[in-house]
Amino acid sequence: MIRFFFRSKNIKLNGADVTLKRQLCNSFALKPRNLDLYKIALIHKSATSSIANGRKVNNERLEYLGDSIIDSIVAEYLFVKFPNENEGFLTKMRSRIVSRSSLNALALTIGLDKLVITQTNNPLAHRHIFGDALEAFVGAIYLDRGFETTRRWINSFILNRHIDLAALKETETDYKSRIIELAQKNKLCIQFESEEQETERGQNPSFVAKLLLDNRLLGTGYGSSKKEAEQNAAMVAIERIDLFPLPNQQLKPETISWEN
């Protein structure tokens, strides 16, 4: 087991620790053994802390771990729920559940945002802080209680309570794939031009993407990653035209920029 802290079992918890432990039990149906793991999971990069030996800690490593665990548990969940569906369907459904926007919404729904510690002023980075914290939170559960407990928690506390599979089947989220498919069908040239934007020192990077159709600018999108920016650019393009335009069709005149 990875050791983040060297806390003795005989050390008395302080007031803040007692409050956090009570919140984890009452609000998240968890009985933590190593409270420090959950404390780290709630520290955003912008609020990086130092532990006793001077090492800097935040939730990025736990986020990486939790991301992989969520993927595997959701994959198994869908495999069981949809025994007659093919790989493409299962992959699309998993992508919709574990997308950045979906995880962020889930974190807000279960109240995890109230516990996250952050000091960022970057609105683009701030959009997904809570979803990232949810991934880190799952990583903490896994290290603290093991895979089986983590699987049961995600299935019962997240998926069964807050995911409407029927509605999700009708939801379109992969705008980029959709617009590329339509461009190929209509034998049109589609191109994404993406670049990183300058941000203040210490802030997470942000990106802007432009979608060009036969060298015409069709949509512009922004995001905290290149992938997100391109998805937003594709979403703008689709929102501007009800059907994908053939070369002789006119584009709607609305603005082509989109940003939260």
- Which residues, at least 6 apart from 50, have a Cβ–Cβ distance to it below 8 Å? 56, 57
Q: For the chain, give the number of residues.
A: 260
**What is the 8-class DSSP label of residue 112?**
G
Element (H, E) at 169: helix 165-169
Q: Are strands 257-258 and 216-223 parallel, antiparallel or unpaired?
A: parallel
Rounded Cα distance between 1 and 9, Å, is: 16
Radius of gyration for the alpha carbons in the chain, expressed in angstroms and rounded: 21
- Which residues, at least 6 apart from 164, have a Cβ–Cβ distance to it below 8 Å? none
Rounded Cα distance between 165 and 112, Å, is: 22
Rounded Cα distance between 136 and 142, Å, is: 10
From residue 31, alpha-carbon distances to 26, 120, 149, 210, 249 in Å are 9, 30, 11, 47, 60
Show which residues are catalytic. Answer: 67, 135
Rounded Cα distance between 114 and 124, Å, is: 19
With beta carbons less than 8 A apart as the criterion, state whether 191 and 233 touch. Answer: no
With beta carbons less than 8 A apart as the criterion, state whether 213 and 245 touch. Answer: yes
With beta carbons less than 8 A apart as the criterion, state whether 155 and 77 touch. Answer: yes
